[in-house]
Amino acid sequence: MRLRTHAAAACGNANRESGGRSSEKAPALDGSTGLTISAENVTHYYRSPNGRSTPALKDVSLTVNAREFVAIVGPSGCGKSTLLNILSGLTPPSRGGAFLDGEPLTGVTRRIGYMSQADTLMPWRTAVENVEFALEVQGSPKKERREIARELLCKAGLGGFEKSYPHELSGGMKKRVGILRILAAKSEALFMDEPFGALDVFTKEMLQDEILRLWQETRKTILFVTHDLAEAITLSDRVILMTARPSTIKTEYAIPLSRPRSALETRFQPDFVELQRLIWNDLRAEVRRAAEEAS
């Protein structure tokens, strides 16, 4: 990765190397203890303008433990995004409730950083202005937040692109800026909704490695939605398989692969292949069911 080495030299930050690749089980660097997120009997309907309601989620209960990396997979359109919206406080569920560390969730919260499926960088803000957005709305002084945003960009190998507007960045860079933007907010948990769906294989793998490293370093609770089963297994401690609409949780699979992991090497472990085969069989049944329902 040419970009990274180049920028690292330009950054010259003393505290840049925080032991990213070390294998020791370091505590969370920002001192957060991690956030436990849970859903209890969440049922959700979509109301269309003509008054009909479509069930999206049915009796979903799950707990994402503090510092755990959980991936959710399921057929497309199965309500995975809806579940994230509910757990982040964006959408109140029709029935049931979401909880953060056992406290009921009543609205959006800064404790969760949410990277949605859509590209939500603000096109009128430069990379550095996008990264500092959360700090800005929290009233952090300009000099301070600029400093923090610059350093994050530098560390991610985007040192030369601070003043670039989103349309001047590549797809992978945009995703990276999107991740930095939620990291700047210092939330305790991260939600990611198919963040790498539209990227090419190599960029995707690079970013997966960065997410693995990020989790290793910060141990933030991460909830990751994807339709890419290999991605789910590569990244997470636990894969949750959701059914076709109305979605419920079908099965959970523990992913006992050793950490720290690398996106590429993990894929060639015999355990990985075995897990993939196991989960894929169940997933395929659901994908088929979803397709039948749609037709």
Partner 1 sequence: MKPERRSDAAVLVLRIALVVGTLAAWELLTRLGLIDPFFMGQPTAILEDMVSAFATGEIIPHIVVTLKEALAGLFIGAVAGIGLAIVLDKAETLSRVLDPIIMAFYGIPKLALGPIFILWFGLGMKSKIFLAALMVFFLVLFNAYAGFRNVDRALIDAARLMGAKKGQIMRKVVLPSSAPWLLAGMKAGLGAALLGAVVGEYIGANAGLGWMVEYAGGMYDIPRVFTCIITLMLLMAGLNALLGLAEKRLLKWRPAAL
Which of residues 16 and 110 has its CB atom nearest to partner 1 in the complex?
110
Contact indicator for 106, 89 with CB cutoff of 8 Å: yes
Burial class for 176, CB neighbours closer than 10 Å (0-12, 13-18, 19+): buried
Q: State the minimum distance, in angstroms, from the CB of residue 125 to partner 1.
A: 7
> Smaller CB distance to partner 1: residue 47 or 288?
47
Asked if 247 and 56 count as a contact pair (C-beta separation under 8 A), the reply is: yes
Strand partners, 44: 57
**Binding positions for partner 1, rule: CB under 8 A:** 88, 90, 108, 110, 112-114, 116, 118, 120, 122-126, 133-134, 136-138, 165-167, 181-182, 185
- Tokens for 112? 């969760």
**DSSP labels, 92-105:** --SEEEEEETTEEP
- Does the N-terminal peptide bond of residue 55 adopt cis geometry, omega within 30 degrees of 0? no
Please, which residue, 93 or 243, has the CB nearer to partner 1?
93
What's the closest the beta carbon of residue 134 comes to partner 1, in angstroms?
4
Q: Output the CA angle 183-156-196, nearest 5 degrees.
A: 70
Considering the complex, what minimum distance in angstroms separates the CB of residue 54 from partner 1?
19
Residue 56: CB minimum distance to partner 1, A: 17
Least spacing, CB of residue 71 vs partner 1, in Å: 20
Is the CB of 58 or the CB of 176 nearer to partner 1?
176
Of 132 and 205, the one with the shorter C-beta distance to partner 1 is 132
Whether the Cβ atoms of residue 290 and residue 254 lie closer than 8 Å to each other: no
Enter the DSSP assignment of 59: E
Of 122 and 254, CB closest to partner 1: 122
Read off the tokens for 36.
């436990």
Rounded to the nearest whole angstrom, what is the least distance from the CB of residue 5 to partner 1 in the complex? Answer: 29
